[in-house]
């Protein structure tokens, strides 16, 4: 393979990466929302895009199945950075990782009393590190989606989840009580690819960097 492969997830990452690709002169030939294709050619015969789950982007790049990828900081922290070079904050798909509890649950008091909290999250590594740093005792419950349901259904006292407008929390009578970390998406690069394919990769990375600064 002489060309390069870029791993993206469909939805906001694909949409928000399009302008950055355009700045590098790369235009995908199809939209993954409407096409069922998982490999999308571009106007550049040396560049193709593969569509993967958001949480699978680091894996594709780590193993060199993709040379470049775009992944949320949430996904990168959970996955770990082994084999990945992440040179650029793309400042897209911005949101915040928050602790949220049902309205009326006195989180501060529970923490003060040293209560053991049941916390549900898709982001168990981030949650574990957050509560360990605060010396709060937690039992973590791994979920894959619809975190907001967990406290309402009696599965957990609190959740750790991504929040942007807060609309989903509000609709489910939850309130954010603690900020964990600010999230945005980063460019990730396979370390070996960067050496072997620098001639084609570096101009793309540079174009992304310039576009982010605009
Ligand atoms: P999957 O659908 O495969 O379970 P996902 O729900 O994490 O994955 P997306 O919703 O496309 O996939 O989110 C991709 C990335 O966008 C996340 O990893 C996160 O960094 C960021 N993100 C998630 N939710 C929001 C949001 N509400 N606003 C802005 N950015 C978000
Ligand atoms: Mg989502």
pLDDT digits (tens, 9 = 90+) for 160-190: 999 999 999 999 999 999 999 999 999 999 9
87-134 pLDDT tens trace: 999 999 999 999 999 999 999 999 999 999 999 999 999 999 999 999
> Ligand 1 in contact with 57 (CB < 6 A)?
no
pLDDT at 1 over 80: no
Ligand closest in space to the Cα of 54: 1
* CB-CB contact of 51 with 70 (8 Å): no
Ligand closest in space to the Cα of 145: 1
Average pLDDT over residues 9-26: 98
**Are 100 and 174 in the same domain?**
yes
Q: What's the gap in Å between 132 CA and the centre of ligand 2?
A: 26
**Are 114 and 173 in the same domain?**
yes
**Are 155 and 170 in the same domain?**
yes
What is the biggest distance separating any 2 CA atoms in the chain, rounded to whole angstroms?
Answer: 62
Ligand 1, atom 14, lies closest to the CA of 54
**pLDDT given at position 83:** 87
**Are 15 and 41 in the same domain?**
yes
> Ligand 1 in contact with 93 (CB < 6 A)?
yes
Residue 129: domain span? 95-182
Q: Is 0.75 surpassed by the pTM of this model?
A: yes
- What distance in Å separates the CA atoms of residue 15 and residue 161, rounded to the nearest whole number? 22
- What residues contact 135, with CB distance under 8 A and at least 6 apart? none
CATH of the domain at 85: 3.40.190.10
Residue 182, token pair as written in the block: 């600010």
**pLDDT given at position 120:** 98
Ligand 1, atom 20, lies closest to the CA of 72
CA-to-CA dists, residue 1 to 5, 45, 56, 67, 191, angstroms = 9, 12, 21, 11, 16
36-92 pLDDT tens trace: 999 999 999 999 999 999 999 999 999 999 999 999 999 999 999 888 999 999 999
**Are 110 and 190 in the same domain?**
no
Q: What's the gap in Å between 94 CA and the centre of ligand 1?
A: 9
**Are 36 and 102 in the same domain?**
no
In the beta sheet, which residues pair with residue 155? none
* CB-CB contact of 28 with 21 (8 Å): yes
> Ligand 1 in contact with 53 (CB < 6 A)?
yes
**Are 84 and 100 in the same domain?**
no
**Are 89 and 47 in the same domain?**
yes
The domain total for the chain is 2
**Are 99 and 174 in the same domain?**
yes
- What residues contact 99, with CB distance under 8 A and at least 6 apart? 107, 119, 130, 158, 159, 160, 176, 177, 178, 180
**Are 161 and 191 in the same domain?**
no
Average pLDDT over residues 16-33: 97
**pLDDT given at position 2:** 80
**Are 132 and 158 in the same domain?**
yes
**Are 176 and 192 in the same domain?**
no
**pLDDT given at position 56:** 98
């Amino acid at each position: 393979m002489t060309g390069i492969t870029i791993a993206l997830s469909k939805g906001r990452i694909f949409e928000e990466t399009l302008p950055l690709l355009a700045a590098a002169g790369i235009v995908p030939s199809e939209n993954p929302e409407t096409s069922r294709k998982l490999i999308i050619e571009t106007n550049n015969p040396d560049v193709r895009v593969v569509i993967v789950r958001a949480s699978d982007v680091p894996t594709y790049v780590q193993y060199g199945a993709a040379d470049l990828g775009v992944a949320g900081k949430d996904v990168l922290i959970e996955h770990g950075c082994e084999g990945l070079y992440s040179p650029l904050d793309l400042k897209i798909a911005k949101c915040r990782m928050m602790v949220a509890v049902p309205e009326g649950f006195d989180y501060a008091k529970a923490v003060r009393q040293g209560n053991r909290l049941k916390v549900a999250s898709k982001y168990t590594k981030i949650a574990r590190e957050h509560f360990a740093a605060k010396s709060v005792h937690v039992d973590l419950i791994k979920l894959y989606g619809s975190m907001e349901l967990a406290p309402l259904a009696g599965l957990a006292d609190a959740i750790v989840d991504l929040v942007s407008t807060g609309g989903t929390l509000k609709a489910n009578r939850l309130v954010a009580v603690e900020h964990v970390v600010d999230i945005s998406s980063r460019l990730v690069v396979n370390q070996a690819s960067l050496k072997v394919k620098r001639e084609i990769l570096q101009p793309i990375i540079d174009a992304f960097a310039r576009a982010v600064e605009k």
